[in-house]
Amino acid sequence: MRRALSVLAALLVLVTAMVAPATAVGVASVGSIGIDASYPNCNDVASMSATFGVVGVTGGAPYTSNPCLAAEAARFTTLNLYTNAAWNAHSPKASTTTPRRCTGRDLVCRAYNYGYGAGLDSFAAASAAGVRASTWWLDVEAANTWSTVVAQNRASLQGEHDALRSRGVAVVGAYSTTAQWTGLTGSWANGWPSWGATVLTSLSRVRTYCTGHRFTGGQTWMIQYRGAGFDRDVACFVAAVPSAPRSVVASPRSTMAIVSWVAPASTGGAPVTAYRIAASPGGRTCTTTGARACAVTGLVNHTTYTFTVRAVNIAGAGAPSTRSAAIVAGSPTATRSLAVTFPRSRRAHATWSAPLFVGSGAVRAYLVRWSPDAGRTWSTWTSTGTRRYADRRGLVRGRSCRVQVRAVNASGASPVAVAAFVQGR
């Protein structure tokens, strides 16, 4: 079966500014038909014309190159790239030192290094040709060299995947069939986007393969079929930007804040590749490549900040989250373990623990206020000094009440800790 690779709803090719791009940003809509040029077709470049195209960087095996890569890539404004994958324990490319240090008998480790080197080699070949794409596909076919040990094959694929991601490729997926993927990887459900290979010639039947053939466990982005002249691909899926991250929480430190959040409810159908955090005021930022916590540095103590988070996938950055509750840089974090007991009639006794972090300096005082009517009205803030307890008299038994506590240092007050209680005596 001819090696083909194509854009899924291909979210395209972001071209970096430092080299003359052979591609432009674009998206193939669901149902669009693209051309597979995953194996060099140097004599047929002029006849390549389609909504999108998949172009092979390699020449049929890892560590080889396509001599007409630039010419083929230039035929498509929406472009995906394709590279051969394999594992050959006898190859001199099976390094024992880069990027991982391996013992001579650790073939899983050496397989990872082999794949990692293959990914770097392919990326360098594409860069030398002035070609960039945000989506790459790894060819997983039995025709290349593989081990009978699936753990080694998986390691080689993971290494190639990781190498491309380390170079800024947004999405790395797998081209295969269910049978070949199962045989070579042991039905490895890694969640990568999948591109299904077939020998079908009926487009109407091909379209039915867009569902139910997720051999990686990830979304089926496109299906290959036999076309006139070139193999073709039908786009099965278009990624949308992720929804907004949720539950953004900021925790103050001295001249910084630790911001954490919950993943968006929807990834848009493509993996979230980054999160972008922004502080207001001042616009200080932080970016992660998957972690859902980040330290925003360069803040000014004594200044109040809020934070928003955006999730990013191949389609772009999603909407910003709801703003976090305000924090004061350098102030303590909230007090902990706030609890209420009832030592005698019409009296409440609140206790708490010190903040986990004190920001830019020691806690100077704790401030407490009470609500006898479930938060509708509040007393004024009263200092307990550095004592971590406070009493309130005159509360009515059976009534819903509230108590709030905040810690204060030289930079300001911490977020408020709240306890709701029903007066028990």
What would the pLDDT profile of 200-259 be if each residue is shown by its tens digit? Answer: 999 999 999 998 889 999 889 999 999 888 899 999 987 788 999 999 999 999 999 999
123 in the Ramachandran plot: left (φ > 0), alpha (ψ -120 to 50) or beta? alpha
pLDDT at 291 over 60: yes
- Is residue 15 one of the residues assigned to a domain? no
Find the domain containing 138 and state its range: 33-235
pLDDT value of position 197: 94
pLDDT value of position 282: 95
- pTM of the predicted structure, to 2 decimals: 0.66
pLDDT value of position 83: 97
pLDDT value of position 11: 30
pLDDT value of position 49: 85
pLDDT value of position 257: 96
The closest of 95, 76, 212, 188 to 138, measured between CA atoms, is 188
What would the pLDDT profile of 388-398 be if each residue is shown by its tens digit? Answer: 999 999 999 99
pLDDT, mean of residues 9-26? 28
Res. 19 pLDDT band, cuts 50 70 90: very low
pLDDT, mean of residues 135-154? 96
pLDDT value of position 77: 86
Rounded to 10 deg, the angle between the 178-185 and 150-166 helix axes is: 110
> Do the bridges between strand 417-422 and strand 400-409 make them parallel or antiparallel, or are there none, so unpaired?
antiparallel
Q: To 10 degrees, the CA torsion angle through 303, 311, 273, 19?
A: -80
User: In degrees, to the nearest 5, what angle opens at C-alpha 240 toward C-alphas 54 and 277?
Assistant: 115
Show the DSSP H helices in 270-352 as ranges: none
Locate 102 and state its tokens: 């391996």
- Is residue 240 one of the residues assigned to a domain? no
- Whether residue 44 is found in the same domain as residue 164: yes
- Is residue 166 one of the residues assigned to a domain? yes
CA distance 195 to 80: 12
- Whether residue 269 is found in the same domain as residue 382: no
- Is residue 179 one of the residues assigned to a domain? yes
Q: Number of structural domains, the chain?
A: 3
Residue 249's SS3 state is: strand
Res. 302 pLDDT band, cuts 50 70 90: very high
Res. 274 pLDDT band, cuts 50 70 90: very high
Residue 381's SS3 state is: coil
CA distance 70 to 225: 24
Res. 134 pLDDT band, cuts 50 70 90: confident
- Whether residue 59 is found in the same domain as residue 133: yes
pLDDT value of position 164: 96
- Is residue 282 one of the residues assigned to a domain? yes
Residue 304's SS3 state is: strand
What would the pLDDT profile of 327-375 be if each residue is shown by its tens digit? Answer: 999 999 999 999 999 999 999 999 999 999 999 999 999 999 999 999 9
- Whether residue 317 is found in the same domain as residue 184: no
pLDDT at 14 over 60: no
Q: Give the torsion sign (CA, 327, 331, 335, 336).
A: positive
Residue 37 · residue 11 · CB < 8 Å:
no
The distance of Cα 418 from the centroid of its chain, to the nearest Å, equals: 34
- Whether residue 292 is found in the same domain as residue 401: no
- Is residue 18 one of the residues assigned to a domain? no
CA distance 213 to 197: 10
Of the residues 206, 235, 264, the one at which a domain ends: 235
Report the 3 state secondary structure along 42-68.
HHHHHHCCCCEEEEECCCCCCCCCCCC
Q: What is the CATH number of the domain that holds 53?
A: 3.20.20.80
pLDDT value of position 12: 28
CA distance 161 to 120: 10
What would the pLDDT profile of 31-64 be if each residue is shown by its tens digit? Answer: 889 999 888 889 989 888 888 999 999 999 999 9
Exposure string of 46-61, with b = 16+ CB inside 10 Å and e = fewer, is eebebbbbbbbbbbee
Amino acid symbol at 256: M
> Do the bridges between strand 304-313 and strand 316-317 make them parallel or antiparallel, or are there none, so unpaired?
antiparallel
pLDDT, mean of residues 80-96? 94
Residue 251's SS3 state is: strand
Q: What is the mean pLDDT of the chain?
A: 90
- Is residue 305 one of the residues assigned to a domain? yes
CA distance 405 to 355: 11
- Is residue 199 one of the residues assigned to a domain? yes
| 286 bridge partner residues | 277
Which residue did the predictor score with more confidence, 213 or 26? 213
The closest of 114, 203, 204 to 153, measured between CA atoms, is 114
- Whether residue 185 is found in the same domain as residue 251: no
pLDDT value of position 33: 92
pLDDT at 15 over 50: no
CA distance 97 to 150: 22
